Structure 1
Amino acid sequence: MATTSNKLGLKIPSYTDEVEATINDLANNFQTLDDSSEEYASKPPTEGLYQAGERFWNNYSLTQTHAGWSNIRTGTSAPIWGPSKVYVVGQKVVPERDNGHFYECIQAGNSGVTEPIFPVSTNGQVQDIRGSNTWIASHQYKVNDIALPSIDNGRFYLCVQAGESNASEPVWSLVDGNTTYDKNAAWRSYRIAKWKESGPAALFKAFGKFD
């Protein structure tokens, strides 16, 4: 009759066991060993769901400052939000400064030049247009200013040529990357990305600092 090992609870077959039972026990043993094996990476993961306490050893520990990373909060791992990037529905991000949450893109588009103020309320939503303002006539604009049309069209316009705007609002382009000329200023058209709070974010912290 099979017995059990002390640490991992592995099945130790006996010569009196049935062949099928022994094969099943060995298969379960391999799975247990795989589940308990250490994981290695060159940096903390940026996708997937992780339990608190999961850790990754640093593949390049000899050339870096820490032995690895340990997750201190159960949640989803995601890359840090980036400015002026194209996002598609379903992509996930976390704020540059951890707030305990991750966010899923629910409207494909471009991010702005400044990180939005991500909501922490459950299922809270935010458009990625922080720092934007409705277009102003005869106004001096500078590069990277963001203007919104007086009538919402789901897009924002990034100033790519500094200058004074016209006395009347231009006809805004509805094509990504196209330029709208506005007297001395020029604007590039982008669809607005939109984010939804989607749950707790994992938080990996470095451990084992080398002197």
Structure 2
Amino acid sequence: MSTTTNKLGLTKPEFTDEIEHTILALANNFQTIDDDSKTYVDAPPTSGVWPSKHILHANQLSIGGYLGWVNIRSGTAAPIWKSLTSYSNGTVIVPNKDNGHFYTCIQTGYSGLTEPIFPVSNSGEVQDTRGANQWNPNHYYSINDISFPTTDNGRFYVCIQAGESGDVEPNWVIVDGATTYDKNAVWASYRIAKWRESGTAVLYRPFGKID
């Protein structure tokens, strides 16, 4: 009768076992060994669902670096949010500062210049236009100021040439990256991206610092 090893639970066939049983047992052993083998990467994953205690080992080792990363929270991996970046429906991200959640883009568009305050409530939503204000006439705007038209058109506009706005609201262009001239100020157009809280994010932390 076959027995199993203590650590990995590998099957140790006996010579009295049937051939088919022995082959299946060995195949399972190989799979178990492969699953338990070390994985070497350059950085933690930015996609997929991963369990806690998942360990990844660093491809490159250096003084001051780490042996690898361990996931301390089961969840979904995603890239970190970036400013003024085009995102499509279904794209997922995590905030720059971990808050335990990941977010799904629910409206194709561009992120703003400043990271939004992401909601932590279940399925909470946020528009990616932090720091934006409604356009005002005869107002001095600096580069990277963000404005909304007085009539919502689903876009935000980034000042790319500082100056005073006109006394009449301009005809806002609705093509991504295209410019609107507003007396002395010039604006670039971007469609607004929106995000929805979508669940728990993974949290990989480095381990084994090399002194």
Question: What's the TM-score bracket when you normalise by the shorter of the two chains?
Answer: over 0.9
Q: 3-state SS of the aligned residue for 1:68?
A: strand
Aligned residues with identical type, % of pairs: 58
C-alpha separation between the residues in 2 aligned to 1:107 and 1:123? 14
Match of residue 75 from structure 2: 75
**Hey, what does 2:7 align to over in structure 1?**
7
Counterpart of 1:24 in structure 2 is 24
**Inter-partner Cα distance in structure 2 for 1:119 and 1:83:** 18
SS in 1 for 2:207: strand
Partner residue in 1 for 2:124: 124
* Separation of aligned partners in 2, 1:69 and 1:62: 15
Letter in 2 for 1:202: V
2:72 and 2:112 map into 1 onto residues whose CA distance is 30
Q: Which residue of 2 aligns with 1:186?
A: 186
- Counterpart of 1:31, as a letter, is Q
Cα deviation, residue 14, structure 1: 2.3
Q: Which residue number corresponds to residue 134 of structure 2?
A: 134
2:86 aligned with 1:86: yes
Find the counterpart in structure 2 of residue 209 from structure 1. 209
Q: In structure 1, how many angstroms separate the alpha carbons of the residues matched to 2:58 and 2:64? A: 8
Matches of 2:3 and 2:93 in 1, distance apart? Answer: 47
Partner amino acid for 2:97?
R
* One-letter code aligned to 1:21: H
TM-score (norm 2): 0.96
1:66 corresponds in structure 2 to: 66
Please state how far the C-alpha of 1:25 moved relative to its aligned partner: 1.3
1: CA distance between counterparts of 2:26 and 2:191?
Answer: 55
> CA-atom RMSD, angstroms?
1.2
2: CA distance, partners of 1:75 / 1:19: 41
Q: Secondary structure at the match of 2:119?
A: coil
TM-superposition CA deviations, 1:140-190 (whole Å, max 9, x none): 001111111111111111111111111111111111111111111111111
For 1:61 and 1:92, how far apart are their aligned partners in 2? 30
What is the distance in 2 between the residues matched to 1:196 and 1:70?
27
Deviation digits for residues 9-38 of structure 1 (CA, Å, limit 9, x no counterpart): 111222222222222112211211122112
Counterpart-to-counterpart distance in 2, 1:163 and 1:48: 46
Matched, 1:143 2:143: yes
Question: Which amino acid in the other structure matches residue 40 of structure 1?
Answer: Y
Superposed CA offset, 1:36-74 (max 9, x none): 112111112211111111111111113651111111111
Distance 1:64 1:44 in 2: 18
Q: How many aligned residue pairs are there?
A: 211
Query: How far is the alpha carbon of 1:96 from its aligned partner?
Result: 1.0
- Is the counterpart of residue 46 in structure 1 residue 46 in structure 2? yes
Query: Do the aligned residues in 1 keep the contact of 2:62 with 2:210 (CA within 8 Å)?
Result: no
CA distance in 2, matches of 1:27, 1:88: 42
TM-score normalised per structure 1: 0.96
Distance between the aligned counterparts of 2:20 and 2:187, measured in 1? 71
Hey, what's the Cα distance between the residues in 2 that align with 1:187 and 1:193?
Answer: 18
